[in-house]
Chain A
């Protein structure tokens, strides 16, 4: 159950688009369409932003989108805003009937 691999940090200017990758294996990301993305601001609980690879919960901005190719999932934030500055984690179902999170990515809005 090794953590999924994410870049430690990604940055962008307001209005720009950024993409965060999440790399696993065929036993997790590549094997199932149960990839989720969470946003976490300092001192608060995580909030789900994307589920089932590309679905958005109600109330989440359509500036957030998800995709997957092979063993790598991606989260794209378009029209970057100051409030998007946070930590982002991917997660996936695994063949062991457990969940696994990514290493986390700090998004900085320049």
Chain B
């Protein structure tokens, strides 16, 4: 069974940092592109960042230069390092798997349950 479990969310002050993790199981992690998607409270989905199975990275303009996506295939874990956090980054952050063979994960066939990040003073 494919599973994705996010962790690392919490309350942080504006300008602060946080690192999210997503531990996966049930598939060969190293073969798939992965992505982070966020959803602000009561709002729609926003594609945040993606990483190919070979480690190429892609970012939405809204987070470029502040967020860094990475992966550790030996630990079956996806990360999102978030720096210079803003109030508008407050959201539930989901990790999701791309379809096999995709370089950029935009067709997302499995999702975690999400972790809430709150940026507030």
Contact = CB atoms under 8 A, between A and B. Distances in A.
Contact of B44 (A1, A3, A51): A3
Interface of B: 35, 37, 44-47, 50, 58-62, 94, 99, 103-109, 111-114
The 8 closest A-B pairs by CB, nearest first: A99-B106, A99-B47, A45-B111, A104-B44, A101-B45, A93-B106, A51-B107, A36-B107
A45 B59 contact: no
A35 B13 CA distance: 36
Interface of A: 1, 3, 34, 36, 38, 40, 44-48, 51-52, 57, 89, 91-93, 97-104
B50 A98 contact: yes
A36 B108 contact: yes
A14 B11 CA distance: 43
Contacts of A44: 113
A46 B109 CA distance: 9
A1 B61 contact: yes
Contacts of B61: 1
A18 B60 CA distance: 32
